[in-house]
Amino acid sequence: MLVTLKDIKKISGGNVLFEKLNFDIKENEKVGLVGRNGSGKTTIFKLIAGIEQFEQGNLFIKRNTKIGYLEQIPDFPEGTALDFLQNSFEEINDLKKKMKQLEEKMQSTSDLNKVLEDYGKVQTLFTDKGGYEVDAKIDKVAHGLAISHLLSQSFTQLSGGEKTKVGLAKILLQEPDLLLLDEPTNHLDLAAIEWLEKYVNQYEGSVCIVSHDRTFLDNSVGKIADVEMGEITYYRGNYSQYEKMKEEKLLQEFAAYQEQQKKIKKIKEAIRRLRQWANEANPPNEKLFKKAKSMERALERLEKLDRPIMDPKTMALNFSAEDRSGKDVLKAECLTKNFGDKSILKGIDLHLRYKDRLALVGDNGSGKSTLIKLLLEKDIPTSGSVTVGSQVSIGYLPQDPMRDVAADLPMIDYFRSEIKVTEAEARQILAKFMFYGYSVFQKVSHLSGGERMRVKLAIFMYLGVNVLVLDEPTNHLDVESQEVLEEALEKFDGTVIGISHDRYFLNQCFTETAYLVDGKLHRYVGNYDETKSNWEHLKDRLIAVQQKQKEKPMKTGYETKIDYELEIEKLESRIANLKVKIQQGENKGREVELAEEKLDLYFQKWMEEDEHTV
């Protein structure tokens, strides 16, 4: 065992969170710690890391075990993000300083042989500890988490999400014996999430992960620890296997509970009859009384089975559009957006039709949220236009649904400002979204990310919108709430466009996927898994084009040239759009064939070394 929690009692906010919690992590084990929001997962991490204390019980940690845990946004008052990461190598940095001191001593000492001998020892230790590999390690992790562009920036000027990513990088670089990862995918894009999966799989130490990302857990862990009602139950396998095993276990427990209830009912009936017969006898039968009393004592000693919770409380979410939108919902033509000299979006065309289910995917910083704001006319494009169709009613769920709401406003007052109902009606509605009793009077500033999402979803449900625009809707929802949202979207008779890094959600809820790469939008029929290879091809092509442009000589200007990279990019986009139209029932098959023939020709010419003329 690397870590063992034994009979832990923990009180949080005046409530007993755990009475006798037992939990352990073995060496070289990859564990997913799952449970509903508020079940105590993060508290368990803080107990192991020594950040919080417990009231009773014991915590055993194997001697010399190094634990890495990113509790919150890290603090680093001075220096760059690179300086912050280099601080991960304390021992190596100390050896580096000693080497420098000895190098300086060489210039002034009379006993050079002794200094050289000392220098050789320190240098050997520096080499053995991987001192010459530090830069390569930092580069590997920074590239994988897509934070290379942040390394030269002042750490204090990074956003909260950027600091969290850099903090995660530092923990990975420290290579602890135990990695405690609490929602590690929240601030990562898809490429970084998939890189982290591979990193965890290859990691030689132990890893314990709290995450609501089901696909990430499926691909990262071999054991699930389920926290429920202050106790932990273990399941061998990944998340999908755990779901099946837990369902089977619940069914078995419920069958055992029902069987015991029948037995208890039968014993109680026997006791009642014995007492009745004893009283009816003349004189009263003492022997029957004693038999009834004996059976009562046996019933009291019987270990009663708790009724299993078959249907845990979840949101009662159901989207219902009051009016149907027209066939054309949103139409963007040649949208561009520049921030200073930087071009984020480059001539984007997008046609969103009634009942489309379009996922918008791209790396962090690619412009997805910017595009959404332009479509919603919450921002002004540098050029191009957006047309909103007839009878379109849009519900927009941003990443922080209440960012612009007054922090001291009670949640129920905010809800009633959006939905015109009485206080009693508001409380009744909010109860369907798991806000009970006086919790509806919490101030907005006290709501968690998941609670804010639930309030906003409740508002959408009663606004009757026919278009949903979702920006990372699953980020703060627990798995049960995610499943309710997925089911509601499946039944929704309207149009959905969404941004997400949750692959399970992308595969479950969308039938088309549009990839935003280098400011251009490439749309394909199919969910994320079905179209992922197209995205990888686009990114590979972009890298190849950029490399080719670096190597290409200047054009002479005396001849008219074809810019093959640009033509290829246009054709790929056209082919993708034509395939969408085929899927929607418009016959464009011959056009696709011609475009693909032309694409092959242009790609062949682009690959040739010499410049081409028309």
Specify the pLDDT at position 478.
82
DSSP-derived secondary structure for 490-557 = HH--SEEEEE-S-HHHHHHH-SEEEEEETTEEEEEES-HHHHHHHHHHHHHHHHHHHHHHHHPPPP-S
Question: CA–CA separation, 173 vs 266, rounded Å?
Answer: 63
Which comes out higher in pLDDT, residue 534 or 511? 511
Q: Within 13 Å of residue 611, how many CA atoms lie on the same side as its CB?
A: 15
Question: 467 with 325: CB under 8 angstroms?
Answer: yes
Distances (CA, A) of 234 to 173, 206, 224: 30, 16, 6
pTM of structure: 0.75
Specify the pLDDT at position 601.
66
DSSP-derived secondary structure for 379-408 = S--SEEEEEE-TT--EEEE-SSTTTTS-TT
Question: 188 with 196: CB under 8 angstroms?
Answer: yes
Specify the pLDDT at position 183.
86
Question: CA–CA separation, 412 vs 402, rounded Å?
Answer: 13
What Rg value do the Cα atoms of the chain yield, rounded? 31
192 has pLDDT over 60: yes
Averaged over 459-466, what is the pLDDT? 85
Specify the pLDDT at position 550.
63
Which comes out higher in pLDDT, residue 388 or 565? 388
Strands 357-361 and 15-25: unpaired
22 has pLDDT over 70: yes
Query: Residues 6 or more apart from 286 whose CB is under 8 A from it?
Result: 278
pLDDT band at 124 (very low <50, low <70, confident <90, very high): confident
Specify the pLDDT at position 584.
65
Specify the pLDDT at position 158.
81
Which comes out higher in pLDDT, residue 314 or 399? 399
Specify the pLDDT at position 607.
58
What is the per-residue pLDDT across 232-262, written as a single tens digit (0 to 9) for each? 999 999 999 998 888 888 888 878 888 888 8
Across 196-210, 397-411, 530-544, 586-600, the highest mean pLDDT is recorded for 196-210
What is the per-residue pLDDT across 376-395, written as a single tens digit (0 to 9) for each? 988 899 999 999 999 998 98
Specify the pLDDT at position 504.
92
142 has pLDDT over 50: yes
72 has pLDDT over 70: no
553 has pLDDT over 60: no
CA nearest to 369, candidates 548, 535, 500: 500
Reply yes or no: is the peptide bond before residue 283 cis, omega within 30 of 0.
yes
Averaged over 286-293, what is the pLDDT? 85
Place of tokens 């830069």: 135
Averaged over 121-144, what is the pLDDT? 86
Averaged over 401-429, what is the pLDDT? 87
347 has pLDDT over 60: yes
Which comes out higher in pLDDT, residue 182 or 254? 182
Averaged over 51-57, what is the pLDDT? 89
Specify the pLDDT at position 117.
82
Question: CA–CA separation, 44 vs 8, rounded Å?
Answer: 10
Specify the pLDDT at position 96.
83
Which comes out higher in pLDDT, residue 597 or 277? 277
Averaged over 100-111, what is the pLDDT? 77
Arithmetic mean of pLDDT over the chain = 83
Instruction: Look at the chain and count its residues.
Output: 614
Specify the pLDDT at position 611.
42
pLDDT band at 565 (very low <50, low <70, confident <90, very high): low
pLDDT band at 313 (very low <50, low <70, confident <90, very high): low
Tell me, letter by letter, the H, E, C secondary structure of 34-56: ECCCCCCHHHHHHHHHCCCCCCE
Specify the pLDDT at position 602.
60
pLDDT band at 36 (very low <50, low <70, confident <90, very high): confident
Specify the pLDDT at position 558.
41
Averaged over 309-322, what is the pLDDT? 73
The percent of residues in the chain predicted with pLDDT above 90, rounded, is 21
Averaged over 127-151, what is the pLDDT? 86
Specify the pLDDT at position 604.
61
pLDDT band at 561 (very low <50, low <70, confident <90, very high): very low
Specify the pLDDT at position 225.
93
Residues 462, 466, 467: CA angle, nearest 5 degrees: 110
Question: CA–CA separation, 70 vs 181, rounded Å?
Answer: 7
554 has pLDDT over 80: no
